[in-house]
Each structure stands twice: as structure tokens, then as C-alpha cells.
Amino acid sequence: MVKLPRHIAIIMDGNGRWAKKHGKTRLGGHDAGMKAMKGVIKECGRLGIEHLTVYAFSTENWKRSKSEVAGIFGLIVKYMRSELAELMENNVVCDVLGDYTSLPKDAVNALDKLKADTGNNTGLRFHIALNYGSRADMLAAAKRLALAAFEAEGADAAEQKARIEEWTPEDFARGLATGGIPDPDLIIRTSGEQRLSNFLLWEAAYSELVFSDTLWPDFTPEEFHRALDEYARRSRRFGGR
């Protein structure tokens, strides 16, 4: 039997270059990317993958033009509304990593509904990294731990220091947006770029990385299986022999 990852994370890169190559607008590229994402979600569900995380919008993506950002959020609303019935039919659980409350109100409402409606499903857990940046997430987790130590009732400086010395990597991980989610076994990045771009930096410590030259809208289930085959050939030792 082929060894499958428990958790797959994907940096969906190349929508803009795909649009340029095909004479489409950048928004058209993002729309095509949504369709590719749908195909991978279905394939993960079919294979019995437990967790899929996609990098949909980073904290750095706000630097893009206002029209492109607004268009991306509009597509997210459109996709969540049009695909909800199918996600429910396929027993997919959806949640969001990142502070999506600062998005336009219709996007926030659509995401709240998506999370509420799929919350009792028991199949693939689909995590959407939206307005997410790993450095900001790690900083927030550190602040939460520090505040817990400093606000301990009646604790003096020595006690506070002792509490801090007792922190473990597991304590820190629980404070991240991914708290309770297993670290990704496999991270895939499309379009030929070979970097993590502030995505799951803590969680990726022992992830297998697969880089594909394929632009994201062209990333078919067949391309996905090639990445899975590459993962299956790897020997994961987690620092051991």
C-alpha cells in the first residue's frame, strides 16, 4: 500500500502567471485556481487524507492592488456559497487559520456560515489559511504564553520566571492557529518557486517538501498524485537514523 500523508499543506502559487500565459485577467487566474483547489479537496477526501491546509491569502498579500484583493475576497465568497452543498455531501469540515475578521463583511459572514454548517462533519478537515502569516502567529502565541505567566495570581518575579522556564514546545504549539492539528507531513508548492513564504514555519520543522513546476490552475489530480508518489519514496527519520 502507498504511504499517504496524514496532513498535506499546499502553497497554491502561479495564478497570476497562468492568467498572463492564457491572456486572462489576474482575477481569472484566481478563479481558475479555485477550480484546481476543488479538485484537490475531492481527491483528498477520496483517498482518506485527514487534513488539508491551503495558503489562500497571506498577511503580505495586502500589498497587492486593491482591485485584486477585493476580487480575491469576492471569489472566496462565491466559492464558499456555491460549494457548500458539495462540501456537506462529502462530509468535509472547514475552518480558517488566521484573523479573517478584518476581511469584508460578506466574506466574514460566508466563512462563519461555512464553519458553522460543516462543523459537525467527520471527514476531511479542510483548513484555509486566510490573512495568515506564520511569524505573526508565532509572536501571538508567545505573547499568550507570557501573559499567562505574568498574570498568574499572586506570582512574584521568581515564580513568573519559573513558569516561563517550564514552557515546552508542545505548550507553544497549542497557542498557534494550528493548535490541535498535526504538523503537515507534506508541503507542496507549485509554480517552480522553492520557499515557504511565511507559511507554517514552526509546523514545517520536519515536513517533506515537494516543489512542482506546474502553475496552480494546471495542478490536476494527476499532478497531485505525482507529489504523493514523491512523498512515498522519502524516508522520514525526524533527526534519527
Active site residues: 13, 61
Residue 17, SS3 per DSSP: helix
DSSP state of 214: S
Burial label, 55 (beta-carbon count in 10 A; 0-12, 13-18, 19+): buried
DSSP state of 52: E
CA distance 30 to 236: 34
Contact 183, 53 (CB under 8 A): no
CA distance 217 to 12: 9
Bridge partners, residue 130, by sequence: 57
